[in-house]
Structure 1
Amino acid sequence: MEYNFQNKEEFIKLVQSEVLTSSEVLDILGITRQSLNSLVKRGKITPIKELSRDKLFLREDVIRRKEESKELHSKYRPYDE
């Protein structure tokens, strides 16, 4: 995927809409911080940047993980539905 920006504002808009903090990921996936750390450690989701107290993720990776987890949930826990 290649991005081309005409100006700084376009880049800022993209980052604001497509880059998520750990807290935002927790809300989207409906998981705990420990679960997120486990997903990262097992390579199921990869942060694009790790800061001292937070991690940044791409929205498309988080949405993909959410879809995968729905599929796994319905496959291995069909009685929950």
Structure 2
Amino acid sequence: MEYTFGSTEELLEFLNEELLSATEAAELLEISKVRLGQLVKDGKLKTAKDQPKMFLKSILIEKKDELESLRKKYRPYDQ
């Protein structure tokens, strides 16, 4: 995916809207921060920035869909 920005303001708006902290990412994915760290460590989720950990929202939404399908498969009693 490639992004192009016409101005610094557009870039800052994009970053403000699309970058999420580890806490926000865990909340969006409905997992603990420990589980989020494990996904990063296992290479199943990439960070946009390592310290502090920041994530792109679009990547998290894709991962959320994957995690929800796995929950349905392996934890049917939660439904």
Fold shared per TM-score above 0.5: yes
Matches within 5 A, 1:62-73: 62-73=60-71
Matches within 5 A, 1:32-71: 32-51=32-51, 54-71=52-69
Offset of residue 71 of structure 1: 0.4
Q: Which runs of 4+ in 1 moved over 3 A?
A: none
Deviations 1:7-66 (A, max 9, x none): 100000011111111111021112212111111111111101111xx2011101111111
Offset of residue 80 of structure 1: 2.0
Q: Does 2:3 match 1:17? A: no
Gaps of 5+ in 1: none
Q: Does 2:36 match 1:30? A: no
Offset of residue 79 of structure 1: 2.5
TM-score (norm 1): 0.89
Gaps of 5+ in 2: none
CA distance in 1, matches of 2:61, 2:77: 24
**% same residue:** 39
